[in-house]
Amino acid sequence: MKPDSIKKSVIEVSDLGLSYGNRTVLQEVSFDVMKGSCLAVMGASGCGKSTLLKGMTGLLKPFNGKVKFEGDSMWGDGQLPHDEVLSKFGVLFQGGALWSSMNLLENISLPLETFSRLNRQEIEDMAAYKLSLVGLSGCEFLYPSELSGGMQKRAGLARALAMDPEILFLDEPSAGLDPINSNQLDELILELKDSLGITFVVVTHELDSIFSISDHSIFLSNQSKTIIDQGKPIDLLKGSRLEEVRDFLGRSSRSNSK
């Protein structure tokens, strides 16, 4: 194998503990995410999937452990995450989180206006380009209320791409979508991963997405509040030592036959 073909770890999570006040949600969570790969975060409802995403994106400070991006720690000695680390990734929230009073061009332009030094024309050109990447060219002046659910998710993804992130965090990207739109979103994620080399961390319970887009996965447990298994989803389906994991992945799905 050639040296440049060897996957490198871009995210390192070690002994991570997350809580809301005195309620511990996750503890002793450790895993790596390889550069240019897609990691699926799985588990039953309430197991801490979205909380883990908050901890990895600087929205929730851990009470224990570390999150590193390309060797740089997310948190220093202060109460705020490091800006240079935050600049490396984008986030797609469950509802898309688009501003309803702004059209798509304005929504995608907002991060560029806030964090870049581009002039107005450059910002608009870049925003239009990001919309074209997700198949929304020509929709620049539409408002979120004028979009279908699938188009809203694509627009949210375009905004997450605005600052050319190395890593994209997606929280239940297929939630509320019909199977056709969900499949189209999965195909878009694969296309972006392959063409732009973006690393994805995806919180999802959708089996079709888990099997089609993820290179690796971790399974969180409500009881132990940590990772109880990890690996390629198809390998876990066929050979996990835990019935809980096999049952989760063995639910009725067209992907199981692949």
* Residue 75 DSSP one-character state: B
Interatomic CA distance for residues 141 and 135, integer angstroms: 14
What is the signed CA dihedral for 56, 176, 134, 129, rounded to 10 degrees? -70
Question: What pLDDT digit, counting tens, does each position of 212-245 carry?
Answer: 999 999 999 999 999 999 999 999 999 999 999 9
The reported pLDDT for the residue numbered 6 is 54
The reported pLDDT for the residue numbered 257 is 42
Q: Are strands 199-203 and 38-42 parallel, antiparallel or unpaired?
A: parallel
Question: What pLDDT digit, counting tens, does each position of 60-95 carry?
Answer: 999 999 999 988 888 877 777 887 788 888 999 876
Query: Could you tell me if 159 and 147 are in contact, meaning their C-beta atoms sit under 8 angstroms apart?
Result: no
Query: Could you tell me if 162 and 139 are in contact, meaning their C-beta atoms sit under 8 angstroms apart?
Result: no
Question: What pLDDT digit, counting tens, does each position of 128-140 carry?
Answer: 999 999 999 999 9
Handedness of CA 50, 75, 96, 174 (dihedral sign): negative
Query: Token digits for 121?
Result: 């024309």
In 3D space, the residue among 213, 211, 197 whose CA is nearest the CA of residue 248 turns out to be 211
The reported pLDDT for the residue numbered 200 is 96
Query: Could you tell me if 26 and 52 are in contact, meaning their C-beta atoms sit under 8 angstroms apart?
Result: yes
* Domains parsed from the chain with CATH numbers: 1-85+205-249 (3.40.50.300)
- Please indicate whether residue 254 or residue 58 has the higher confidence score (pLDDT): 58
| Average pLDDT value for residue range 116-132 | 94
The reported pLDDT for the residue numbered 149 is 87
**Residue 201 predicted with pLDDT over 50:** yes
Interatomic CA distance for residues 258 and 48, integer angstroms: 29
pLDDT band at 209 (very low <50, low <70, confident <90, very high): very high
3-state secondary structure of 40: strand
Interatomic CA distance for residues 83 and 142, integer angstroms: 32
| Average pLDDT value for residue range 194-211 | 93
Interatomic CA distance for residues 221 and 237, integer angstroms: 16
The model's pTM:
0.89
Mean pLDDT, rounded, of the chain: 90
pLDDT band at 114 (very low <50, low <70, confident <90, very high): confident
